[in-house]
Structure 1
Amino acid sequence: MNRLASIFGFLILVLVLGILGFVFYQSPQYDGDLTLPGLKGKVEVHFDNYGIPHIYAQSEEDAYRTLGYVHAQDRLFQLEMMRRVGSGTLAEFLGKDLLEIDRFFHTLGIPRHSKESASTFFSAGETPWKIAAEAYIAGVNDFIEIGKLPVEYLLLGEKPRPYTIEDMHSIVGYMSFTFAMGLKTDPLVTKIARELGPEYLNSLSIQTLPEHHTIPVNYPDSLRVDSSSTIPTLTALLDKLPVPLLEGSNSWVIAGSRTKSGKVLFNNDTHIGFASPSVWYEAHMEYPGFSFYGNHLAGVPFGLVGHSRHHSVGLTMFENDDHDFFEEKLNPNNPNEILVGDSIFPIISRKELIQVKGQDPDEFEIRETIHGPIMNSVSKEISALTSNPVSSWWVYILEPTKALEAIYKINHANSIQEVADAAGLIHAPGLNIMYGDSAGSIAWWAAAKLPIRSEKVHSKIFADGSDPETLHKGWYPFTDNPQSINPENGFIASANNQPDTMRSGVLFPGYYFPGERWNRIAKTITSREDWDQESIQELQLESVNEVQPQIVQMMLSHIKLEDFTTYSEVLTALQNWDGDHGLEALAPTIYYKWQYHVLKLAMQDELGEEAFNSYLETFILVRSTRHFLATKDNPWWDVRGTSDIETPEYIITEALKVTLEELTSQFGKKPKDWEWRNAVTLEHPHPLGSQKPLDKIFNVKADPVAANEESVNKLAFRLSGDGIYNVTSGPAMRIILDFANVDGSISVLPTGNSGNRFSKHYSDQKNLYVKGKYRPQLMNEQEIKEKSKGKLIFTPKKN
């Protein structure tokens, strides 16, 4: 009876939403005429088969104002969520359950930093990027005032406030935070170092190991750049975020010496948490002197990724370590002071007020030392380690961001030198800026402000804040940053792995992935010299990991196969695995569950359940398993609390027994039913989709994909014992561009270009995406206008 009532209630909700959508909340307007105040002239917007706007204007201001309007009508609620995360105002909009997240972001300092960055942005005067940003903001607010708001606002009983430049900087702050791996990793590494000792750390890959792959650098002499200069766990907090995290990426640029056309071939796929809508919004803009096809974050007018007719720019995460923690020593005579050497410094306190929906505002205290804000009150991982104050030193909040200026200049660049200069403006988060152009140049810059650390500071273990010699010693000049310009090998690739040594000879520390994706990309590209847009697709869609079969063989070497004759068929498939995660494969289904149980049996007794789960969330897991198995005298094997000294043979064998028993219970005895397709799910969650039955309406479900840990086509999931792996992140777009035919470049998004549930473009690319298909990035005006599926004309509002 309850089930029938639930179904009936769901049908009623669908009916109500359908009526509301038809009457009040129609699809974004893709056809017709609109008047906008502030326009100088007529603007035409042509929408293609996938709802991508192609904007034709006679001035820059008109183009950006129009972009603001069409972006808002497709992605306003996404913009709302992103600005509220960065500004620490989620509880005001969604209620008290989000209060802890707001406190965390306020303590970290992003809302205050956004205000400071906005003030600096205005103080620079009437710069081109300020004029363009303000025009875009005006367009967003035009839609808020006269457009039909997304249905989410009705369901929440809310209305959007006007969009501001401070909001825009809050969104940049949110983006920067999602790269801050130190908050997940450093407390865990410190815990292992303090409670277990160096021998336990030595069995993991905290720093880059010799077997990992580094990105080659190539410093040119011709380019010069100005180089002035009850607290939930963090994982539980991040699980509540209504927006996805930016996690990784691949990009490679192939010089004409290795392509069929003799022109540069450009590829980028940014790895971001899956969500509905997906992160990137595609838009193409044309006005006198400017032609650009970009991928935009909601609320940001400039494309972080995109191309003109003469240059293309992409990005991956640099993964540099720009976040340190200092454990302070309190003055025994005054708990509001800390000691640093022979000096005494005050702890500065301030109160901040957070509005909470449906209840009184929350006033709370933020305390800061000379090293940064004290994090104990908002981080369970930190408070569990020590009762001493622990301060967060994070490069991003140390100075106002110039990200908007940098991105604008990159979009409008006319030369490789202009892109290099713009990359030098980015202080945080660390980004690998990838570049190719029609003249034949290829380039990569690791864009970030890199600190010179004291020899006494381990970048992933809490530093002694009372030691004055642990203070940072300054900054490396941008010209020392890892980079490569037109290398002789004819390609550049980045895949979140360690760059080779800087010009100064320093191997800069970070949260780098082991380079398995990079190595696969590099080996494949150097295998031939006739790449084109079609042939390179196979590499971008590849689901092979060459290291995991090696790990499997290492684990198999510790067991007796004759003890598992009942499972000979599936174990033979595992023995013969080449690392391919095709949906029909059996090996991945066994491997990931076995890996989980090996690590759980070996590590959870030392770490505890929460810390072990945190370990599974860090980059250390991805790059440590092979080293973990290969390390002699690895102390993790011994289980605490037993009289025996457990061996790897014992742990690995017991883990396999549990694995096979669980898989049999889960999938049955037929090996065919153990295929990877049966263990993988893919759903793009909407912020309201956590509430049933709204998940059925707003979330986008897709067919299974070749989920994997570190293949080129990285489709990631959380390692767990469940045996069902929900893909949580992957390529947020797949771009391929051959400069022999810029108008013929291709891409695809995971869901669709619109975030409006009533738009036909809400999920119209999901099947293309899971099947490894692409669609065009149109730039040819005649083709666009001939094939246009909608034409929206904006005209100035007459006084």
Structure 2
Amino acid sequence: MKKIGIAFGVFLLLGVVVILLLISVHTPQYEGKIKIQGLENSVEVYFDEHGIPHIYGQNEKDTYHALGYLHAQDRLFQMEMMRRVGTGTLAELLGEELVDIDRFFRTLGIPAYASITTAQLQEEYSTPWREATEAYISGVNEFIENGNLPLEYRLLGQKPRAFSINDIHAITGYMSFTFAVALKTDPLVTLIHRKLGDNYLNALSVEMLPEHHFIPNHYPDSIKTPLKTTKPSLISLLDKLPVPELEGSNSWVVSGKKSKSGQVLFANDTHIGFSSPSVWYEAHLIYPGFEFYGNHLAGVPFGLVGHSRHHSIGLTMFENDDQDFFELELDPQNPNAYKYGEEYLPFEILNESITVKGQEPVNLEIKKSIHGPVMNGVVPEIEALTSNPVASWWVYLNEKNRALEALYRMNHAKDIHEVAQAAELIHAPGLNIMYGDSIGNIAWWAAAKLPIRSEKVHSKIFADGSDPETLPSQWYPFTENPMSINPVSGYVITANNQPDTLINGKLFPGYYYPGERWKRVADALESRNDWTINDLKDVQLETVNERSPETLRYIVGQIDRRDFEEFDAVFKYMENWKGDHQVNEIAPTIYYKLIYHIYRLSMEDEIGEAALEAYLNTFMMIRSTSFFIQNEENPWWDDVNTLEKESQGDIFKKSLAITLQELKAQFGDDITKWRWEKSIIAEHPHPLGSKKPLDKIFNVKTQATPANEESINKLAFNLNGEGIYRVRSGPAMRILIDFADVARSYSVLPTGQSGNRFSPYYKDQADLFANGKYRWQYMDRNDIIKSAGEPLILKPE
């Protein structure tokens, strides 16, 4: 027994040694000295109490080189996942389960477009943004070559290849795709249009409805001038993505006339899929003549969101429709040609080979028309809808990519004019660029190339590809894009809702949200003129949706309570709900299951289970629900599989009966225990976290959150029959700035700054985020040094 005990002790000691060794070789270095190649001078870095690097360089090149090194130290595996999605090479690293994802992105054209952009950049003369980008890439590659690689590579038995500027272009391509909602929506709209007709479409909010809220335009007439200074479905396929999708966002900027400080207030929270690590990497860059505190996408050297001491930029999704689909007519004599006007044109046929880990390569044939690539083979919904080829025309692939230049210019801008000029360079994805500055300007630009479509085209229904007039050929000028510069209201707000008409009086089509979030913010800002950023915390964290309780009360009003005597107490919760989604509420638990069953019983008989799932994942569901529910003559009420004609009341009664029985079985007889927190799972999944036991190592699970579909603090989930809802997305950061004290603004990330599992900053902000707390964004050196440990000095080799 003594020998067994000694052996066990030795085994345990060896295990501890192995764990400590693993930690030591995979942990980021946050202090001390590191010699790295490529620097001209030493760079001093202070990491504050939440691991945000404050990088002090002596010139631009050294500072961006240091940023690349540090970004890779904390987020290299996230960069790996992002670039592999954008280059269509996931299967090479993760195996055959990801082949379909690679096929999809290669067919869509993102890797090829990245290569074209890279070639175009190499032909240009040297520019500041190119030099800064190349310095950043050198820093990333220095870490890959000599740094402590993250644990994920050891688990996969891989070493990363060198990073390239082509990878950055591929990453921006993936970001653009996540903003392109058409692939998830247009096949469904076309299906309903063809199978059921306009009567059924008209019962949904395919286009905006009168009760929805529009963003008002205010074209420039007053700008302050600064002083001179310095599944068998696309949905199930995309569920396999090891990186999050960018989904929505809120932002508002308040002028000094409505703030207590008399200075501009700035707020932004971008809505992005939950993941570990979360999307944004914060970095504060300082070198002579430049200072900027930015939020960076993995592998991108410039902040998409951020602020200097004199200006701030933020973003939300514009949600404009920038992708059309064209059904092609094949040549009866040649399946490799299609009709276009009075002639038949040959498809361009590309053959590619997809490398698959541990297996033989997979061949891929891509057919391209004048409209774009044929998507049938990689989008099951299109394959099921028609046997004709359907080609994708996408703005992103039809203009030169100047995203890096635009971001560099916005980070380095000296005034509002330079930001506007940079915004004009963005062609896709469509972004709402939000702006505020220290001299009182506030602004919003809808930045995108907006195509001029033919009157023959419904932008959400497949068009006739044989008619040349259906193909967009021109753009509206940027000066006609929606925008608001220093409006008399004293604020600008965007929340993914429809902007008002262009100068020409046209509403540009899109996939806009109904504007409930916009209205709640607008109502709050109208209520007073002495706002502080501490007051704005309450607005940013609000979980109220006014429309949902109205919808629920309408349903209750159509139901005979005598049919539900067993559940009489339930009606009190349904009638008295104010639309809040706090975790102790009862009504949301009832409401979302009830809405699911109403949609299921109404729509599944006409369009099937897969299309219903697709619908529940679109903007249309959120935008249509109130309109859908309150339409007594809605054709969807009738079950086409029965002889009798079902009514609105029939569907409501049956749905409530199922809902209450399921909740009773799920949570028990005591209705007071049907709390919302029991239905919510909040977890930030890691790319390797889908495999047990790696989920326990890498995923970040938090307490239940006040999940909801359309309040300001939007924590989104998918409706389902299970009644357990996984929060799929939410604010990927929360930022609040008062230009009266721009050096101490607020922010918080959903998990932490680092993506390295052995970093103390891997999930140190998770509880702050879940509990609605914030931390400082420091800019003053004294604050930074007080909050930091010893500096990290990056020295020339």
Query: TM-score band (shorter)?
Result: over 0.9
Tell whether 2:504 aligns with 1:513.
no
The alpha carbon displacement at 1:221 in A equals 4.6
* Map of 1:27 onto structure 2: 27
Q: CA-to-partner distance for each residue in 1:551-603, whole Å, 9 max, x for gaps?
A: 11221122112221221222211111110111111000000000000000000
* Map of 1:227 onto structure 2: none
Tell whether 2:536 aligns with 1:539.
no
Look up the SS of the partner of 2:25 in the other structure: coil
- Residues 221/533 of structure 1: CA separation in 2 closer, same or farther (3 Å cut): closer
Alignment of 1:90-129 (within 5 A): 90-129=90-129
The alpha carbon displacement at 1:20 in A equals 5.9
* Map of 2:217 onto structure 1: 217
* Map of 2:458 onto structure 1: 458
Look up the SS of the partner of 1:349 in the other structure: strand
* Map of 2:501 onto structure 1: 501
The alpha carbon displacement at 1:267 in A equals 0.1
Tell whether 2:754 aligns with 1:738.
no
Q: Is the 8 A contact 1:122 1:130 kept in 2?
A: no
Look up the SS of the partner of 1:248 in the other structure: strand
Q: Is the 8 A contact 2:437 2:739 kept in 1?
A: yes
Q: CA-to-partner distance for each residue in 1:588-645, whole Å, 9 max, x for gaps?
A: 0000000000000000000101111111111100000111122342110000111110
Q: Distance in 1 between matches of 2:104 and 2:260?
A: 51
- Residues 307/332 of structure 1: CA separation in 2 closer, same or farther (3 Å cut): same
Q: Distance in 1 between matches of 2:735 and 2:457?
A: 40
Q: Distance in 1 between matches of 2:213 and 2:360?
A: 53
Alignment of 1:346-385 (within 5 A): 346-385=346-385
Q: CA-to-partner distance for each residue in 1:62-86, whole Å, 9 max, x for gaps?
A: 0000000011000000000000000
* Map of 1:40 onto structure 2: 40
Gaps in structure 2 of 5+ consecutive residues: 1-7, 225-230
Q: Distance in 1 between matches of 2:184 and 2:211?
A: 24
Q: Is the 8 A contact 1:21 1:758 kept in 2?
A: no
The alpha carbon displacement at 1:34 in A equals 0.7
* Map of 1:437 onto structure 2: 437
* Map of 2:672 onto structure 1: 672
Look up the SS of the partner of 1:701 in the other structure: strand
The alpha carbon displacement at 1:296 in A equals 0.4
Alignment of 1:476-491 (within 5 A): 476-491=476-491
Q: Could you tell which deviates more after superposition, 14-23 or 366-375? A: 14-23
Look up the SS of the partner of 1:479 in the other structure: helix
* Map of 2:624 onto structure 1: 624
Tell whether 2:418 aligns with 1:421.
no
Q: Is the 8 A contact 2:23 2:758 kept in 1?
A: no
Q: Is the 8 A contact 2:632 2:648 kept in 1?
A: no
Q: Is the 8 A contact 1:116 1:400 kept in 2?
A: no
Look up the SS of the partner of 1:608 in the other structure: helix
Tell whether 2:694 aligns with 1:694.
yes
Q: CA-to-partner distance for each residue in 1:740-760, whole Å, 9 max, x for gaps?
A: 000110100000000000001
Structure 1 counterpart of 2:727, one-letter code = V
Gaps in structure 1 of 5+ consecutive residues: 1-7, 225-230
Q: Is the 8 A contact 1:21 1:151 kept in 2?
A: no
* Map of 1:640 onto structure 2: 640
Q: CA-to-partner distance for each residue in 1:139-175, whole Å, 9 max, x for gaps?
A: 0000001101100001001100000000011110110
Alignment of 1:49-448 (within 5 A): 49-221=49-221, 232-448=232-448
* Map of 1:727 onto structure 2: 727
* Map of 1:771 onto structure 2: 771
Q: Could you tell which deviates more after superposition, 665-674 or 453-462? A: 665-674
Look up the SS of the partner of 1:777 in the other structure: strand
Q: Is the 8 A contact 2:222 2:485 kept in 1?
A: no
Q: Distance in 1 between matches of 2:155 and 2:20?
A: 11
Q: Is the 8 A contact 1:113 1:400 kept in 2?
A: no
Tell whether 2:708 aligns with 1:708.
yes
The alpha carbon displacement at 1:61 in A equals 0.3
The alpha carbon displacement at 1:532 in A equals 0.3
Structure 2 counterpart of 1:715, one-letter code = L
Structure 1 counterpart of 2:559, one-letter code = I
Q: Distance in 2 between matches of 1:498 and 1:261?
A: 31
Q: Distance in 1 between matches of 2:651 and 2:15?
A: 55
Q: Distance in 2 between matches of 1:112 and 1:93?
A: 20
Q: Distance in 2 between matches of 1:523 and 1:34?
A: 52
The alpha carbon displacement at 1:23 in A equals 5.3
The alpha carbon displacement at 1:452 in A equals 0.4
The alpha carbon displacement at 1:344 in A equals 2.2
Look up the SS of the partner of 1:247 in the other structure: strand
* Paired residue total: 781
Q: CA-to-partner distance for each residue in 1:249-307, whole Å, 9 max, x for gaps?
A: 00000000100000000000000000000000011010001010000011101000000
Structure 2 counterpart of 1:637, one-letter code = W
The alpha carbon displacement at 1:42 in A equals 1.1
Q: Is the 8 A contact 1:69 1:139 kept in 2?
A: yes
Look up the SS of the partner of 1:237 in the other structure: helix
* Map of 1:3 onto structure 2: none
Q: Is the 8 A contact 1:234 1:381 kept in 2?
A: yes
The alpha carbon displacement at 1:22 in A equals 4.2
Tell whether 2:545 aligns with 1:548.
no
Tell whether 2:657 aligns with 1:657.
yes
Q: CA-to-partner distance for each residue in 1:436-462, whole Å, 9 max, x for gaps?
A: 000000000000000000001000000
The alpha carbon displacement at 1:671 in A equals 1.7
Q: Is the 8 A contact 2:26 2:151 kept in 1?
A: no
Structure 1 counterpart of 2:80, one-letter code = E
Q: Could you tell which deviates more after superposition, 92-101 or 15-24? A: 15-24
Q: Distance in 1 between matches of 2:16 and 2:425?
A: 50
Q: Distance in 1 between matches of 2:23 and 2:737?
A: 42
Q: Distance in 1 between matches of 2:313 and 2:486?
A: 15
Structure 2 counterpart of 1:45, one-letter code = V
- Residues 116/250 of structure 1: CA separation in 2 closer, same or farther (3 Å cut): same
Q: Distance in 2 between matches of 1:775 and 1:394?
A: 40
* Map of 1:5 onto structure 2: none
Q: Could you tell which deviates more after superposition, 102-111 or 627-636? A: 627-636
* Map of 2:5 onto structure 1: none
The alpha carbon displacement at 1:790 in A equals 3.8
Structure 2 counterpart of 1:328, one-letter code = L
* Map of 2:474 onto structure 1: 474
- Residues 131/17 of structure 1: CA separation in 2 closer, same or farther (3 Å cut): farther
Q: Distance in 2 between matches of 1:100 and 1:764?
A: 35
Q: Distance in 1 between matches of 2:599 and 2:23?
A: 55
CA RMSD, Structure 1 to Structure 2 (Å): 1.6
Q: Is the 8 A contact 2:203 2:627 kept in 1?
A: yes
Q: Distance in 1 between matches of 2:429 and 2:343?
A: 32
Structure 1 counterpart of 2:469, one-letter code = E
Q: CA-to-partner distance for each residue in 1:87-120, whole Å, 9 max, x for gaps?
A: 0000001111100100000000000000011112
- Residues 780/530 of structure 1: CA separation in 2 closer, same or farther (3 Å cut): same
Q: Distance in 2 between matches of 1:559 and 1:232?
A: 37
Q: Distance in 2 between matches of 1:617 and 1:450?
A: 25
Q: Distance in 1 between matches of 2:468 and 2:767?
A: 57
The two structures have a TM-score, normalised by structure 2, of 0.96
Identity among equivalent pairs (%): 60
Q: Distance in 2 between matches of 1:29 and 1:412?
A: 29
Q: Is the 8 A contact 1:25 1:758 kept in 2?
A: no
